Amino acid sequence: MDIKIKNLIKKYNGQVIFNGVDMVFKRGLISVISGPSGIGKTTILNILSGIDNDYEGTVLGVDKEKISYVFQEPRLLDHLTAYENIKFVLNKKLDFDKIEETINKVLETVELTEYKSFYPNELSGGMKQRVSIARAFAYPGDLILMDEPFSGIDEKLKMQMMRDIKKLQKKQMKTIVFVTHNMEEARFIGDEHYIIEGRPSIIRKQVK
């Protein structure tokens, strides 16, 4: 079943952000939501993930226990290594033997195998974000939400990370909802593309 948002009405500080919006995210694809800053892109992800419950409307096809989230900042725990940070979200979700295998596999895909025992303060900004991407793909979910994961990362690294995400997505066939304000990123990574504009916002679907 695809993920559907139906008749979404969302107000923030008395201002109407969405007034009866519908969206569909197809299973196994990367759907990109783009639009200017402050338009409500992250709000959509927060509604899908359950972080934001203050809205009217319906969200269908989302199992709250099977969601991964790559935030704008890596949100790693400083006293845990890259490996342990991923293990932190996998404890009791996977069998003990499977945990190590899963983590090693994702770390290999994002080319961080050598850095698995490094602590966040020993990693660069880009590496930390790659750990958070690896964490999202290691998690046994079916939906990955990504909120501008490349902000503050240089072009060369960004391309490499986008390729990592595509590679992991092709392997695992997970559904990804990717938020960005960068149109180039949206075109490169997305299978489907929604553009949010105006206030209250309207959503246009762009055909690839």
The residues binding other proteins (CB under 8 A) are 49-51, 64-65, 67-69, 71, 73, 75, 77, 79-81, 84, 87-89, 91-93, 135, 139
What are the DSSP calls for 93-128, one per residue? TS-HHHHHHHHHHHHHHTT-GGGTT--GGGS-HHHH
CA distance 52 to 159: 31
CA distance 76 to 79: 9
Taking the complex as a whole, the smallest distance from the CB of residue 20 to other proteins amounts, in Å, to: 27
Find the shortest distance in angstroms from Cβ 114 to other proteins. Answer: 18
Shortest distance, position 84 Cβ to other proteins, whole Å: 5
19 or 72: CB nearest other proteins = 72
**What DSSP assignment string belongs to 145-208?**
EEESTTTT--HHHHHHHHHHHHHHHHHH--EEEEEES-HHHHHHH-SEEEEEETTTBEEEEEP-
C-beta closer to other proteins: residue 87 or 193 = 87
In the complex with other proteins, the residue whose CB is nearer, 51 or 60, is: 51
Minimal distance in Å, beta carbon 141 to other proteins? 9
Q: How far is the CB of 156 from other proteins (least distance, A)?
A: 27
Cα 165 to Cα 137: distance, rounded to the nearest angstrom:
9
Residue number, 119 or 188, with CB nearest to other proteins: 119
Q: Which is nearer to other proteins, 92 or 156 (CB)?
A: 92
